[in-house]
């Protein structure tokens, strides 16, 4: 069986990527990590979906970035800064602020960078710092057991 990521990029190769390209993959990485963590809660599918939607939006991602900023290494902070400063040339969604949207893009760029460079342990460490397991149980019908 082949690897999920067939070629791990060097840090230099990843830094040469457009920050929006890093955010493109990082958005999916964040969504996958969120859904994986929520699945472990044992909640009903509807509660899982509602909780995932609440965590995978610009405001929630901006808040997550604020939690991990003090933990970032200089090169990670630089990737996040570049991601937050990138202009996507499309309007910010109506229900999000430009500030939150920019910060969410910064977080997604960082997640994409860590994923593409194969830094899975660091990716997990930062995700867990941003979204501790004790905050995982969705509201409402918690468990179906």
| pLDDT tens, position by position, 66-84 | 999 999 999 999 999 999 9
pTM (2 d.p.): 0.86
**DSSP3 helix / strand / coil % (the chain, rounded to 5):** 65, 0, 35
* Residue 142 confidence (pLDDT): 45
Domain 11-131 has CATH 1.10.760.10: no
Q: 25 pLDDT band (50/70/90 cuts)? A: very high
Contacts of 84 (CB under 8 A, 6+ apart): 102, 103, 105, 106, 109
Give me the active site residues, please: 27
Q: How far apart are CA 60 and CA 38, in angstroms?
A: 15
Q: How far apart are CA 85 and CA 78, in angstroms?
A: 11
Q: If residue 67 lies in a helix (H) or strand (E), which one and from where to where?
A: helix 58-68
């Amino acid at each position: 069986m082949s690897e999920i990521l067939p070629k791990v990029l060097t840090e230099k190769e990843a830094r040469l990527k457009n920050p929006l390209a890093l955010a493109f993959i990082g958005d999916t990485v964040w969504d996958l990590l969120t859904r994986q963590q929520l699945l472990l809660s044992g909640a009903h599918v509807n509660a899982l979906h509602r909780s995932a939607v609440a965590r995978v939006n610009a405001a929630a991602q901006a808040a997550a970035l604020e939690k991990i900023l003090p933990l970032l290494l200089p090169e990670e902070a630089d990737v996040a800064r570049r991601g937050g400063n990138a202009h996507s040339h499309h309007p910010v969604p109506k229900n999000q602020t430009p500030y939150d949207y920019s910060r969410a893009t910064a977080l997604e760029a960082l997640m994409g960078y860590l994923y593409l460079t194969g830094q899975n342990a660091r990716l997990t460490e930062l995700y867990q710092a941003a979204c501790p397991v004790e905050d995982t149980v969705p509201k409402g019908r918690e468990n179906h057991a």
